Structure 1
Amino acid sequence: MKGPLFYAKILLFGEYGIIKDSKGLAIPFNAYRGGLKTTKVLEGKAKASNENLYKFYNYIAALNSELVSFNLKKFKADLEKGMYFDSSIPQGYGVGSSGALVASIYDKYAADKITVLENLTREKLLKLKEIFSLMESFFHGKSSGLDPLNSYLSLPILINSREHIEPAGIPSQKEGKGAVFLLDSEQIGETEPMVTIFMNKMKNEGFRKMLNEEFVTYSDACIDDFLHGNVASLFTNVKSLSQVVLKNFKPMIPDAFHKVWAKGIKTNDYYLKLCGSGGGGYILGFTEDYEKAQKSLKDYKTELVYRF
């Protein structure tokens, strides 16, 4: 048995903002992927994955939802045959490792599943997102359902608001100097503690005001610029967003990267922002000159995502 592959995702813009119903833009990232496989000898990573899938099976079996039902008999039989999730997607890195797993389980075991080939109306997209939110909550405590949705559809997705999501056409890549890239913090980030910090900060009126008047304003502007190919305006807004995040989201930025973050803003060599919930994993970088950014970040691992 070898299932279809599901890709990692990158939330280019909208982290934390989408919790408060602002815009978000997520794109598939094909450099990392995962799929269901079966082995006769379960050991190492495959054994750990199989054990984790058993826990996920129990969680899904206990779900009492009218939204979705699963072929639990087949799911359990496959687990007993040695099924595991074979993935190159790094865990705790903000690129949707659990999302790809959720997408693969839905694809294989959901009854009356909504397929990628049918006409994806807004209602179907919202239903899928709701199902995936329910499923992925097993991993994060609370999930928007966006990561599995992106992985399942393998399309860029624009979140206009909680009730309005749509597939998005993003400009095709150019052979320019500019780039979006990943910067490896070389430490694991955990979503749940970061979201808890954010929710506690939201109790502060000043933080809420900043989120609405600055963070969301710049983040939404970045999305519009990116989708319309307004590169000059994009970098102006990304720089502003980077400054706001450094000032107000320090707990989500690994300590070792506070100076690196500030250096980018000061030199204009690159601008950094959170990739997912932060706290570790990848940091997302934007630069008008990727070679220059690489030299400036020569002590760190970078990985290209998109070229301008």
Structure 2
Amino acid sequence: MKGPLFYSKILLFGEYGIIKDSKGLSIPYNFFKGALKTSKNLSEIAKKSNESLRAFAVYLEKMQLENPELVSFDFESLKKDVANGMYFDSSIPQGYGVGSSGALVAAIYDKYAVEKITVLENLTREKLLTLKAIFGAMESFFHGKSSGLDPLNSYLSLPILINSKDNIESTSIPSQNLEGTGAVFLLDSGIIGETAPMVQIFMEQMKQDGFRNMLKDQFIKHTDACVEDFISGNMKSLFGNLKQLSNVVLDNFKPMIPAEFHKLWKNGIETNDYYLKLCGSGGGGYILGFTQDINKAKKALQGYNLEVVYNF
């Protein structure tokens, strides 16, 4: 048995801001993927995944009891498959901000949800919000609190534009120009990040007036502008807004940036060779980078592991 593939995602813009109604833009990233598989002889990693699925099934039963209107699952099949050695075979790195739990949630919904909403339907805003709510409740098992966006992206495999909490739509982004020198890239911090503690820090900071004002007047303002620029392909304006956003993040989200990257972050802003921003919740994993000249960025970031995800 081998399930369909579910891909990782990259939240290009909107990390933390979408909690407070900023715009966001999330795109599928097909380099990493995962699928449900079953085996009688499980490796150590597969065994861990199988145990996690067993606990997840218990959580989903409780979730369905508490909110029967939201979604229902075929638990008989799910439990039988878990007992037979089902696991999630995934190349998506965990704790890297590219949606490892999101892909798993999407795979479980796809296989076991009764009367599921499918990608082939006319995806109205209503259906997208329903899916997002279902996925948010499911993914909370892994993160404590989830927006449901990662699994939504993985499930639909389409770019998703978040206009606000209650207004999301699938969108198109400018097609890649593989000859272009402009690029979005992932920078490997070499550290595994954990979402829950980072979200905790953010929620604590939100109790301060100064931080809340900064979020509204600077962070969300620049994030919204970046989303609009990126979708409309206005690269000149995009890089102006990215520089501002990178600055705001360096000044106000230091705990989410691994210490050894503070200097590198600042260097990008000062030289304009590249601009860095958080990828997901930060604290490790990948850092997202944007550059108008990938060769300059590679030279400036020599010795670091760099993965281009989009060319323009």
TM-score norm. by structure 1 comes to 0.99
Matches within 5 A, 1:19-168: 19-63=19-63, 64=65, 65=67, 66-168=69-171
Q: 1:209 maps to what in 2?
A: 213
SS in 1 for 2:240: helix
Query: CA separation in 2, counterparts of 1:71 and 1:49?
Result: 20
1:275 to 276, 279, 288: 279
- Aligned pair count? 308
Query: CA separation in 2, counterparts of 1:292 and 1:39?
Result: 47
Q: Report the AA paired with residue 268 of structure 1.
A: N
SS in 1 for 2:114: coil
Q: Report the AA paired with residue 224 of structure 2.
A: D
1:253 to 239, 253, 257: 257
TM-score norm. by structure 2 comes to 0.98
Say whether residues 1:304 and 2:308 are aligned partners: yes
Q: Report the AA paired with residue 79 of structure 1.
A: V
Q: 1:195 maps to what in 2?
A: 199
Query: CA separation in 1, counterparts of 2:112 and 2:221?
Result: 40
Query: CA separation in 2, counterparts of 1:2 and 1:293?
Result: 40
- Report deviation, 1:43: 2.3
Query: CA separation in 1, counterparts of 2:21 and 2:220?
Result: 10
Structure 2, unmatched stretches of 5+, are: none
Q: Report the AA paired with residue 101 of structure 2.
A: S
Q: Report the AA paired with residue 138 of structure 2.
A: M
Q: Report the AA paired with residue 128 of structure 1.
A: L
Query: CA separation in 2, counterparts of 1:33 and 1:291?
Result: 28
- Report deviation, 1:188: 0.5
Say whether residues 1:291 and 2:295 are aligned partners: yes
C-alpha RMSD over aligned residues:
0.5
Q: Report the AA paired with residue 153 of structure 1.
A: L
Query: CA separation in 2, counterparts of 1:68 and 1:143?
Result: 17
Query: CA separation in 2, counterparts of 1:233 and 1:17?
Result: 20
Say whether residues 1:265 and 2:269 are aligned partners: yes
Query: CA separation in 1, counterparts of 2:46 and 2:216?
Result: 44
Q: Report the AA paired with residue 45 of structure 2.
A: K
- Report deviation, 1:22: 1.2
Q: Report the AA paired with residue 187 of structure 1.
A: I
Q: Report the AA paired with residue 97 of structure 1.
A: S
Query: CA separation in 1, counterparts of 2:214 and 2:184?
Result: 26
- Report deviation, 1:242: 0.2
Query: CA separation in 1, counterparts of 2:80 and 2:211?
Result: 50
Which structure 1 residue ranges, 4+ long, deviate > 6 Å from structure 2?
A: none
SS in 2 for 1:31: strand
- Report deviation, 1:148: 0.2
Q: Report the AA paired with residue 150 of structure 1.
A: N
Quick one: percent identity of the two aligned structures? 70
Structure 1, unmatched stretches of 5+, are: none
Query: CA separation in 2, counterparts of 1:304 and 1:43?
Result: 32
Q: Could you give the per-residue CA deviations for residues 129-172 of structure 1, whole angstroms, max 9, x where no partner exists?
A: 00000000000000000000000000000000010000011000
Query: CA separation in 2, counterparts of 1:262 and 1:101?
Result: 36
